[in-house]
Amino acid sequence: MASNLTSSLARYPSLQGRRVFITGGGTGIGAAMVSAFAEQGAHVAFVDIAEAPSRDLAASLAVAGHPAPWWRVCDVRDVTALQQAVTDGAAALGGDFAALVNNVASDDRHTLESVTPAYYDERVAINERPAFFAIQAVAPGMRRLGGGSVINLGSTGWQTKSGGYPCYAIAKSSVNGLTRGLAASLGADRIRVNTVSPGWVMTERQVKLWLDAEGEAALARNQCLPDKLQPSDVARMVLFLASDDAAMCTAQEFKVDAGWS
């Protein structure tokens, strides 16, 4: 369902009519970002492997009177399909993307002993590789526009030494390297590159799989703030970084984790 931004939250005039591409936009944090951008008047394209939630999200935004997002079912492990979606989404929305949000990820649990070379490569193909090739696809259009904003979703999980997903931790720790490694070269064309690293966000999946009594205790023990993080909390940081208000912010990591890390 589309989120409801209240009148007390920031509006960004520069996002009105801006074209935004989001990976993994059909559910969870990604869906919150799709909704938040649409509510700002942005024209959003997104990809996701989950067809039914993506369709429902797009329909709910259109019914609410927001710009209807363009979307496509896409397995981001297929780089050719991902880059074609960028091309087709831009054509459908009438121009180049001014913002890219590399959100797609999978934090499936695994152990050191269980990982095979094939499984390792698959984790990289979901959690690391798509961001690089999505940036490669949008960068020429951002240059034509005279600038843009790339927002890579990291994680504080590896920074707090959370266990149970070493391949995910490796991939997410590389996000800061991607951000820092491209910020200077892309910055010459006024393309900003930043990382947003969420803490433990209460998506439907996280609540269903892992929020038990032990998890509640960990939240109370580790967060500085008592409230549970919601997908919309992350979306609001992403809105800021995509807007002109963040025009001089690049090569940085912005944490949204209630003070856990």
Partners of 197 in the beta sheet? 255
φ, ψ of residue 203 to 5 degrees: the values are -75, 165
d(CA 115, CA 85): 31
Residue 185, CA atoms < 13 Å, CB-side half-sphere: 9
DSSP letter (8 states) at residue 69: P
Query: E strand or H helix at 234, and its extent?
Result: helix 231-242
Residue 195 in contact with residue 149, Cβ under 8 Å?
no
Q: Hey, what amino acid is at 79?
A: V
Give residues with Cβ within 8 angstroms of 247, minimum separation 6: 192
Q: Hey, what amino acid is at 248?
A: M
Report CA Rg, the chain.
17
DSSP letter string, 109-122:
---TTT--HHHHHH
Active site members: 168
Residue 197, SS3 per DSSP: strand
Characterize the bridge pairing of strands 99-102 and 19-23: parallel
